[in-house]
Amino acid sequence: MFSVDTKLNVNKKSSVRSRIAFHTLGCKLNFSETASISREFDYKKYEHVDFTDIADVYVINTCSVTEKADKRFKSLVKKALKLNNKAFIAAIGCYAQLQPEELISVKGVDLVLGANEKFKLPDYLNDLTKIETGKIHSCEIDEVSKYVGSFSLHDRTRSFLKVQDGCDYKCTYCTIPKARGVSRSDSLFNVISNAKKIASNGIKEIVLTGVNIGDYGKGEDGNKKHNHTFLDMIKALDDVEPVERIRISSIEPNLLKNEAIEFISKSKRFVPHFHIPLQSGSDLILKKMKRRYLTSLYSERVLKIKTLIPNACIGVDVIVGFPGESNDNFIETYNFLNNLPICYLHVFTYSERQGTEASIMKNSIPINIRIKRSKMLRTLSVKKRRSFYESQLGKKLSVLFEGENKKGYMYGFSENYVKVRTPWNPELTNKIKVVKLHEIDNEGYLRSKDL
């Protein structure tokens, strides 16, 4: 256990509302949790403002996946203190659980909350007085077993709905199990109830999030076994009438069963978009990563999707520069991805994460080679996306438009994740419009004559 103070001092009574700002680093799961945590604050005591505004409290929901996220945290602290050097700075999230001492040592940070404690953030903000030494409230990750649900509202045309947390996998490069604990799930009743709440707020699209959502049902109602399965959940959600669209954020290939693909191919609400982590196209590297599949299973899943849903968009996570990844291993990955009917890549340059098995492996890849390989795969991603977009020309797709004016333009996504750009028109905000796509503009976005 970390040594912590049990309580903060009680703040003097005041009729003036404190201004509070939130910033999220990392994944959609973090966004859903930030949104739910922020709703716990009494609007009579707190005024929510943008992170770029002057605030009394700045809350940063941290990420531990990459070194870049760590550096970003320090940059955000500096920006917040530049806006208000007396502001109270709180860090929550994955990195706050993994490395609380490191975060509290950052100049200006007053409070660090771990995996359990972050959901009680309002309780720790009774006194906003800055002190010389910040406080840590964090338990050991083995003690984190309770499931806390969350979902986002109002900030976007889509909502991120958390259905699962934690992970029981032992991938050698990953810190997430140490940051979030064991795999556990929301009850199916709560998932359905939250989906209805989201839809009742006028949000058109729900994105299902979690650490390992294909493992849904494990840890439901405190039961270590599966009360329900991922397939049970998506079947139940497909019958929730107010919901118009449901998107799956990311799912492990070994947990994306053929039965689920077959169901989604005929679904009323689930869109034809899959994001399936690969990490490497080399079976040798996959084994070193301790992934739970080989390339043969991965290609089977992709081909199954494309057979049943030819218009589906398939995104892929891939890591380059993993320890021991030879040039031949990388070329194997490149060719594997090049030959698959996928649509885009999320490329991660491997970075050593403290406490992981991979961080002490031999045959570390030089940084310059990691960067070179990353650039090659990002170039391949551009090529894949362009090819997919070209295949959509002349087709009619349903586009959900977002409400942000970006230099005179607005954007929307089709059901199969095609990004469409059109001149700003506020009447299109949060509307699903069927359009016929006719060209790819100079910025690489699809356009329609209908708009």
**Tens digits of residue pLDDT in 28-59:** 999 999 999 999 998 889 999 999 999 999 99
- Centre a 10 Å sphere on the Cβ of residue 388 and count the other Cβ atoms it contains: 20
Query: Residue 151: pLDDT above 60?
Result: yes
The Cα-based distances of 241 to 194, 199, 204 in angstroms read 13, 9, 12
- Separation between Cα atoms, residue 394 and residue 448, nearest integer Å: 9
Task: Please tell me the predicted confidence (pLDDT) of residue 146.
Answer: 86
User: 351, exposed or middle or buried, with CB in 10 Å at 0-12, 13-18, 19+?
Assistant: middle
Q: What is the CA radius of gyration of the chain?
A: 22
pTM score of the predicted model: 0.91
Task: Please tell me the predicted confidence (pLDDT) of residue 242.
Answer: 87
Query: Residue 12: pLDDT above 50?
Result: no
- Listing from the earlier edge strand, what are the strands of the sheet with 245-248? 158-162, 205-209, 245-248
Q: Can you name the residues that pair with 413 across neighbouring β-strands?
A: 400, 419
Look up residue 168 and give its two tokens: 């029981």
Find the angle CA(292)-CA(297)-CA(303) to the nearest 5 degrees: 145
Average pLDDT in the 357-377 region?
97
Query: Residue 238: pLDDT above 50?
Result: yes
- Centre a 10 Å sphere on the Cβ of residue 74 and count the other Cβ atoms it contains: 14
Nearest-CA neighbor of 213 among 173, 169, 174? 169
- Separation between Cα atoms, residue 239 and residue 363, nearest integer Å: 51
- Classified as helix, coil or strand, 408 is coil
In the chain, count H helices and then E strands: 12, 19
**Range scoring the smallest mean pLDDT among 11-25, 48-62, 103-117, 293-307:** 11-25
- Separation between Cα atoms, residue 413 and residue 111, nearest integer Å: 38
Q: Which CATH class is domain 158-389?
A: alpha beta
Burial 260-291 (b: 16+ CB within 10 A, else e): bbeebeebebbbbbbbbbbbbbbbebbebbeb
Average pLDDT in the 316-335 region?
98
Which residue has better confidence, 258 or 116?
258
Average pLDDT in the 426-450 region?
90
Task: Please report, for the chain, the start and end positions of each structural domain, with discontinuous segments joined by +.
Answer: 18-143, 158-389, 396-448
18-143: which CATH architecture? 3-Layer(aba) Sandwich (3.40)
The pLDDT confidence band at residue 13, using thresholds 50, 70 and 90, is very low
The pLDDT confidence band at residue 7, using thresholds 50, 70 and 90, is very low
Task: Please tell me the predicted confidence (pLDDT) of residue 9.
Answer: 38
- Separation between Cα atoms, residue 21 and residue 134, nearest integer Å: 19
Q: Can you name the residues that pair with 194 across neighbouring β-strands?
A: none
- Separation between Cα atoms, residue 348 and residue 350, nearest integer Å: 6
DSSP letter assigned to residue 256: S
- Separation between Cα atoms, residue 281 and residue 377, nearest integer Å: 12
The Cα-based distances of 335 to 204, 339, 442 in angstroms read 38, 6, 28
* Pairing of β 409-414 and β 419-423: antiparallel
Q: Can you name the residues that pair with 185 across neighbouring β-strands?
A: 164
Per-residue pLDDT reduced to its tens digit, 190-202 = 999 999 999 999 9
List, as one string, the DSSP characters of 224-241: SSBSS-HHHHHHHHTT-T
Task: For residue 17, give the amino acid letter.
Answer: R
Task: Please tell me the predicted confidence (pLDDT) of residue 2.
Answer: 35
